[in-house]
Amino acid sequence: MWTRHIRTEMQITEVRIRQTKKASVKAHAIICFDNCFLVRELKVIQGPAGLSVSFPVKKLSDGTQWDIAFPVNAETRNMIGRAVLAEYEKVVAGSGFSSARDKIISVTIPPSTGNERGGAAGSMMDYFLGG
């Protein structure tokens, strides 16, 4: 059961963007919350109304989709969308990549204090993704 009156302020502490060459899916994103929780497979989608962010889903054998990770309110959806699209815009503005590895952009917000897992040695994404 969801408890609506409990509110935890989460921060997006890292965003990574990887551009694609597809017409509708412009990029894939990975985000990290509070230096401790990663969500992969977000997508930057080009639709009729402009760019938007879609969240990870699993396609089931009957053709339906099961949401894997998603915001439960508009405020969180907007926070994630703004962060991912801002990093995507930075990637697009700095185009001229020479390889797929160069297309991965990482931003850490705020800098590591050294107290969290991964600490001064690197970000949480580097720890889990081997980057």
CATH number of 12-123, picked from 3.40.50.300, 3.30.1120.40, 3.40.80.10, 3.40.50.2020: 3.30.1120.40
Tell me whether residue 20 is exposed, middle or buried, using C-beta atoms within 10 angstroms of its C-beta: 0 to 12, 13 to 18, 19 or more.
middle
From first CA to last CA, the distance across the chain in angstroms is: 37
The domain segmentation of the chain, as residue ranges, is 12-123
Q: What are φ and ψ of residue 54, in 5° steps? A: -110, 155
- Give the dihedral sign, CA 51/24/109/37: positive
pLDDT digit string, tens, across residues 12-59: 999 999 999 988 999 999 999 999 999 999 999 998 999 999 999 999
pLDDT digit string, tens, across residues 48-71: 999 999 999 999 999 999 999 999
**The model's pTM:** 0.70
By the 8 A CB rule, do 20 and 115 touch?
Answer: no
